[in-house]
Amino acid sequence: MPSTRTSPSFLDDEYYARIAKTRAAMDRAGVDTIIVSDPSNMAWLTGYDGWSFYVHQAVILGMEGDPLWWGRAMDGAGALRTVYMPEDCVHGYDDTYVQNPDKHPMEDLSRRLAGMGWDTGTIGVEMDNYYFSAAAYGTLLKHCAKAQFSDTTGLVNWQRAIKSPTEITYMRRAAEIVTAMHARIVEIAEPGLPKNKLVAEIYHQGISGAGGHWGDYPAIVPMAPSGLDATAPHLTWDDTPMRTGEATFFEIAGAHRRYQCPQSRTLFLGTPPQKYLDAEKAVADATEAALDQAKPGNQCQDVARAFNTTLAKHGFEKDSRCGYAIGISYPPDWGERTMSFRSGDTSVMQDGMTFHFMPALWLDDGGIEITEPILITATGHERLCKTPAGLVVKS
């Protein structure tokens, strides 16, 4: 029986191509089977899309045949609505395994692996992953005693680096959505407006979508700190009213069919002090220098080097990376967890890669984020968003 999906994001041939790339990487890594627990990788390999990653689930891929979806039995119906594979590739464990200290879902997976003859040889698991626990690994070691286990963290992630034409279309739609989100912020932000009311409008615009395309949920909630809160990079919001004389940075993402396009802008209500204008100028100059290096054949560290060198000429320093790869993702992160714009990353940029260039600065009384999602093209790069650049000032 085929799957019952009604709105597939990709044609089956694209999934076949992805699986072929992944199997080639498996062969190079010397593994026979991989257990993929990262929901982004699960979706990329099979199409599975559901908010079920709070329980144990996985896609299992061997060197032949279709991949298998495995998870909580009640989520099997969602698998049939989203994956490209037929029904006999969907396997569920019963609910007595859910959050039960006396038994673990990996016991069920171990039995299924043995039944398919996949409990021998070398099995790859994503060891450094939000969704794969120490208990899960320990259970597999106990119940698949004949297997050798290998860390294949990032193996699938790296196959996702170069986007297909359809993926780029989805990234462009997500970019249009986040552009509309920033425009809505500028339209309604004013002194006295409670921050939660503004964030509600951000969500409304993001989910409503733009350009005739619907908005998916972002992999990270809006970051919207003001004043001293903005000296920290990852605070969210409360009900504090916005105030004249404060900067607020908005780190948000548009999303479409799970493809994430993050972008940040900083809003200052009133007249910004000179140090904010100086920081804006430094970031603008450093951004231009950095993005001049964002082209095929260059290394990721070339972007970081150009950015940091130019920033230092203006008297500023950024001690964290200034960008990372983006694409399909699920909470809690919209990055691909592969390449970064930082010193020492010798990854070579190629046509079809997508990045969030993230030149944030945190000052002693606030922060400034003016970031750009980009697509590497055959001749250089393209800024995916049409959001006006620079510090946003609203009196």
DSSP-assigned states of every residue in 153-188: TTHHHHHTSSPPHHHHHHHHHHHHHHHHHHHHHHHH
Rounded alpha-carbon distances, angstroms, from residue 322 to 161, 167, 317: 18, 24, 11
Among 94, 126, 159, give the residue marking a domain's end.
159
User: How many whole angstroms separate alpha carbon 64 and alpha carbon 10?
Assistant: 21
Q: Are residues 155 and 172 in the same domain?
A: no
Output the pTM of the full model.
0.96
Residue given tokens 């054949």 in the structure block: 297
What is the extent of the structural domain holding 149?
12-159
Q: Are residues 311 and 283 in the same domain?
A: yes
Q: Is residue 106 part of a domain?
A: yes
Q: Are residues 139 and 241 in the same domain?
A: no
How many structural domains are present in the chain? 2
Q: Is residue 339 part of a domain?
A: yes
Q: Is residue 233 part of a domain?
A: yes
Among 159, 177, 194, give the residue marking a domain's end.
159
Q: Is residue 263 part of a domain?
A: yes
Q: Are residues 183 and 105 in the same domain?
A: no
Torsion of the alpha carbons at 229, 235, 240 and 243, rounded to the nearest 10: 50
Residue given tokens 């990788």 in the structure block: 41
Helix/strand/coil for 230: helix
Amino acid at 353: M
User: How many whole angstroms separate alpha carbon 183 and alpha carbon 375?
Assistant: 22
Among 159, 184, 203, give the residue marking a domain's end.
159
Task: CATH number of the domain at 348, please.
Answer: 3.90.230.10
Residue given tokens 């609505």 in the structure block: 81
Q: Are residues 150 and 247 in the same domain?
A: no
User: How many whole angstroms separate alpha carbon 332 and alpha carbon 353?
Assistant: 21
Q: Are residues 278 and 357 in the same domain?
A: yes
Q: Is residue 3 part of a domain?
A: no
> For every one of its 395 residues, what pLDDT tens digit does the chain have, with 9 covering 90 and above?
455 677 899 999 999 999 999 999 999 999 999 999 999 999 999 999 999 999 999 999 999 999 999 999 999 999 999 999 999 999 999 999 999 999 999 999 999 999 999 999 999 999 999 999 999 999 999 999 999 999 999 999 999 999 999 999 999 999 999 999 999 999 999 999 999 999 999 999 999 999 999 999 999 999 999 999 999 889 999 999 999 999 999 999 999 999 999 999 999 999 999 999 999 999 999 999 999 999 999 999 999 999 999 999 999 988 899 999 999 999 999 999 999 999 999 999 999 999 999 998 888 888 899 999 999 999 999 999 999 999 999 98
User: How many whole angstroms separate alpha carbon 45 and alpha carbon 79?
Assistant: 13
User: How many whole angstroms separate alpha carbon 50 and alpha carbon 337?
Assistant: 21
